[in-house]
Structure 1
């Protein structure tokens, strides 16, 4: 399967090299693309020095914008599968073959921490459970780890994500694609590590705002978006 790993990176100079080197040593035959999301540190310099393939966004678009830049690249280069992958070392490349295998028989494969394990008693996990309930209510599907950032998309989904509006790599987009395209979603059990270094897209305030925004979007806003028939326009 012709796969592209998309790595959005914002101020990840302390972790990007170790993340990519581990990726290369684990899955050397899989293509990857770093999307530098307007970093102000040495992220681009490290990419240049090591010869890593990258897109250099001139301003910070946020995770959704950076990912969509990568997904447009995947679409234009006719990849069969695109995998969203963190630059901070949290996602483990050992699970990439499992995601590739899963995507052979589904549209979206999510690397899930909670297929076989329960969520801990934290505010963040409470928010995850609320989003899980909202997706279940609106689609009838249970996604145990809706906020996981380790997701694989097949060619059909790559096209929708590349050509559609407001198609960020978020739980509300996954929920919408289930409803609008009858997308088949499976969860692949994974383990994740702690962030190695660098600057997260989220702090506790933005995380709380994110959980609320996702829940409202899934329950209300996505119903105003039309059902997609056939290929994306």
Structure 2
């Protein structure tokens, strides 16, 4: 169901780095299942033929001149959304994990409940791809840390499927973490008094390519994100 206010402008941001195996399927899923949304592929200086596939198919694409990483690519999308007056923006990963059929429901939920962010969670109804056991341990850790800092339970704090309203677009266009941004930014907006909720979604396994989070990077990820969350929590408390 996709009946969010007819006059609302909605944008899907698709960060893509070397997603040649899945980018065409991802965009065509959006065109078919979320027709009231515009979309933009943010090609983060891919070294494969992601750009060529998008251009051959006439997809809307922004080609970054240098690799900015996931945070920079997504922030580019939020800057695009702010500049062109979008009321809603949602991140859909270029690897095909996110199902576009849930986007209309997420937009409706944002409107009806006057929210600033809606997160698509794998773990409310526990259907579809549930990630690896090791990653679920990390996700549970961040769920607990975020609840400790903000008082709110976020079951899927690393979910990239996040739909936001206009004032969150403005915030994220100004400031967005370089890498592993999802848990940190949830804490940042919760500490500002923004309203965040989750709804259940079904996610797929990655449709191609490989994850940017390797075993070696996972230690850095846990330490970096923990420190970032604690910093955002301290800063939020300081400015209350």
Same fold (TM over 0.5): yes
Q: CA RMSD in A?
A: 2.1
Give, in whole Å, the separation in 2 of the partners of 1:222 and 1:102: 27
How many residues matched?
228
Tell me what 1:3 maps to: 10
Query: Contact 1:8 / 1:35 at 8 angstroms: preserved in 2?
Result: yes
Q: Give the superposition deviation at 1:221.
A: 5.2
Q: 2:5 is matched with which residue?
A: none
Give structure 1 stretches of 5+ with no counterpart: none
Does residue 202 in structure 1 map to residue 209 in structure 2?
Answer: no
Which of 175, 182, 189 is matched with 2:187 structurally? 175
TM-score (norm 1): 0.91
TM-score, normalised with respect to structure 2: 0.88
Deviation per residue, 1:107-149 (Å, 9 max, x gap)? 0100001123397882211111111111101100000010111
**Displaced runs of 4 or more, over 4 A:** 118-121, 225-229
Counterpart selection for 2:122 from 107, 113, 116: 113
Q: Distance in 2 between matches of 1:85 and 1:227?
A: 33
- In the alignment, what sits opposite 2:4? none
How many Å apart are 1:225 and its aligned residue? Answer: 6.0
- CA shift, 1:215, in A, is 1.8
Partner of 1:87: 94
* Contact 1:34-1:53 within 8 A present in 2 as well: yes
Distance 1:189-1:25 versus aligned 2 partners, 3 A rule? same
Once the two structures are overlaid, the 10-residue window that deviates more, 7-16 or 23-32, is 23-32
Unmatched 5+ stretches in structure 2: 1-7
Name the CA distance, whole Å, in 2 between partners of 1:114 and 1:66. 26
Aligned-partner Cα distance in 2 for 1:7–1:194: 17
Q: 2:150 aligns with which of 124, 129, 139?
A: 139
Alignment CA distance shift 1:96-1:222 (3 Å):
same
Task: Measure the CA separation in 2 of the matches of 1:88 and 1:161.
Answer: 22
Question: Contact (CA 8 Å) 2:158, 2:183: kept in 1 or not?
Answer: yes
**Is the alpha carbon distance of 1:191 and 1:227 closer, same or farther for their aligned partners in structure 2, counting shifts above 3 Å?**
farther
Establish whether residue 98 from structure 1 lines up as the match of residue 110 from structure 2: no
